[in-house]
Amino acid sequence: MTATVEGVPLVLYLAVSGALFLLGLLGVMTRRNPLLLLLSVELLLNSANLSLVAFSRYWNTTDGQVFALVVMAVAAAEVVIGLGLVVAVFRQRLALDVDQMSSMKG
Amino acid sequence: MGERIVFTVAAASAIASGILVVTLKGPFRATVALIGTLLSVSVLFLLLMAPFVAAIQVIVYAGAIVVLFLFVIAYLGERPVAEIGDRLGRYAAFAWLAVIVLAVQGVVVLTTTRLPGVRDDPKPVDDIGSPEAIGRSFIDDFIVPFEATSLALLVAAVGAVLLAKRAIRSEGGR
């Protein structure tokens, strides 16, 4: 923000994280291919991780980094289930479009 | 000054590849663009004194998750999405509206925040990002979230196997 600052202040990291979050949000709301939807969700999780690690640096504590690692494990689990669902849907009918996946049946 | 330059390059490339992830049509290209975002964010992690998280970001995200995506895309094949029956297309305006409102809120919050030192040089920190510090933190303070994470991964693995079995059975068994 100010020209005299040598390093990178926290507010810039938060701005980058916010920009990535907005991009991911836009992707989740406008994408129709479930694969691309999951990619946008990854973008959202990464922006949250960036905020966590930036605050961890700001408060001089390890907690934020630990939570970022937990978020990564949850992201891995989410991708496994999400891609499993995509493949299961793909094998039943051919259109890969979240618009047409509107009915649930056991 | 060097930190500033690295930060500017990494942040610009993260946002540029993020835009590509959201706009590119082909799933394969969008996934490759996601690799760019992930690597740029891991450079930002390095600048934030978090080398272990940066390494895990490269190994787990760029190494495992993106490869899983690429395998599924290769399995499904590049197939254009049917653009018939554009029901959700009408609501794209609301998506843009929500994003713009959220962006304005974020700008207002970041420009008016009174958090002490949020715009100054970052203070020097102790050893917070080494594997030893993170391991101690996991074992001492966060043992329950650690075990809960392993349970979540187990449930995800079992769920993936069940999904695959059901899909095979619905095809008449194979």
Fold of A34-93: Helix Hairpins (1.10.287)
- Do the Cβ atoms of A58 and A9 come closer than 8 Å? no
B133-138: which pairs have CB atoms within 8 A and are 24 or more residues apart? Answer: B133/A62, B134/A62, B134/A65, B134/A66, B134/A69, B134/B52, B134/B53, B137/A62, B137/A63, B137/A65, B137/A66, B138/A66
Which residue numbers in chain B have pLDDT < 70? 78-89, 167, 170-174
CB spacing of A13 vs B31 below 8 angstroms: no
Domain boundaries, chain A: 34-93
**pTM above threshold 0.90:** no
Assign domain B1-79 one CATH number from 3.30.420.40, 1.10.443.10, 1.10.3330.10, 1.20.120.1200. 1.20.120.1200
Query: What burial class does residue B119 get, using C-beta atoms within 10 Å of its C-beta: 0-12 exposed, 13-18 middle, 19+ buried?
Result: middle
Domain boundaries, chain B: 1-79
Look up the ipTM and state it: 0.87
- Chain B contact set for A40 (CB, 8 A): 21-22
Min Cα distance B97 → chain A (Å) is 10
Query: Alpha-carbon distance A52 to A90, whole Å?
Result: 36
Min Cα distance B88 → chain A (Å) is 7
B89-104 residue pLDDT tens: 677 788 889 999 999 9
A12-28 residue pLDDT tens: 999 999 999 999 999 98
- Do the Cβ atoms of B41 and B18 come closer than 8 Å? no
